[in-house]
Amino acid sequence: MTAPATSGLSSKTNKAFLSVLDGQQLKTPPIWLMRQAGRYLPEYRELRATAKNFLDFCYSPALAAEATLQPIRRFGFDAAILFSDILVIPDALGQTVTFEAGEGPRLNPLTSVEDIERLPELSLGRLSAVFETIDRVKPRLAPQTAFIGFCGAPWTVASYMIAGRGTPDQAPARLFAYRNPAAFQLLIDKLVDASIAYLSEQIRTGVEAVQIFDSWAGILPPSEFQRWSLAPIARIISGVRTSHPAARIIAFPRGATTHLPNFIRQTGAQAIGLDTAVDPNWAVNAIPEQVVVQGHLDPLALLAGGRAQTEAVDALLTAYRGRRHIFNLGHGILPETPIDHVAALVDQVRSFEG
Domains defined along the chain, listed by start: 5-350 (3.20.20.210)
Cα maximum dimension of the chain: 57
Residue among 48, 74, 126, 321 flagged as catalytic: 48
Whether 48 is catalytic is yes
Whether 85 is catalytic is yes
Q: Peptide bond before 325: cis, by omega within 30 degrees of 0?
A: no
Residue among 40, 44, 59, 160 flagged as catalytic: 160
**E strands present in 84-161:** 97-100, 104-107, 146-152
Q: What letters, b where the CB count within 10 A reaches 16 and e where it falls short, cover 196-231? A: bbbbbbbbbbbbbbbbbbbbbbbbbeeeebebbbbb
Q: Give pTM, 2 decimals.
A: 0.95
Whether 118 is catalytic is no
Torsion, CA 304, CA 341, CA 331, CA 75, rounded to 10: 180
Whether 39 is catalytic is yes
Residue among 22, 85, 214, 298 flagged as catalytic: 85
Amino acid identity for residue 211 in this structure? Q
Positions of the chain with pLDDT lower than 50, given as ranges: 1-8, 10
Residue among 35, 174, 254, 324 flagged as catalytic: 35
* CB count in 10 Å sphere of residue 68: 24
Strands 146-152 and 271-273, by their bridges, are unpaired
Please report the pLDDT score of residue 104 as a whole number. Answer: 86
Distance from C-alpha of 282 to C-alpha of 291, rounded to nearest angstrom: 14
C-beta separation of 93 from 152 below 8 A: no
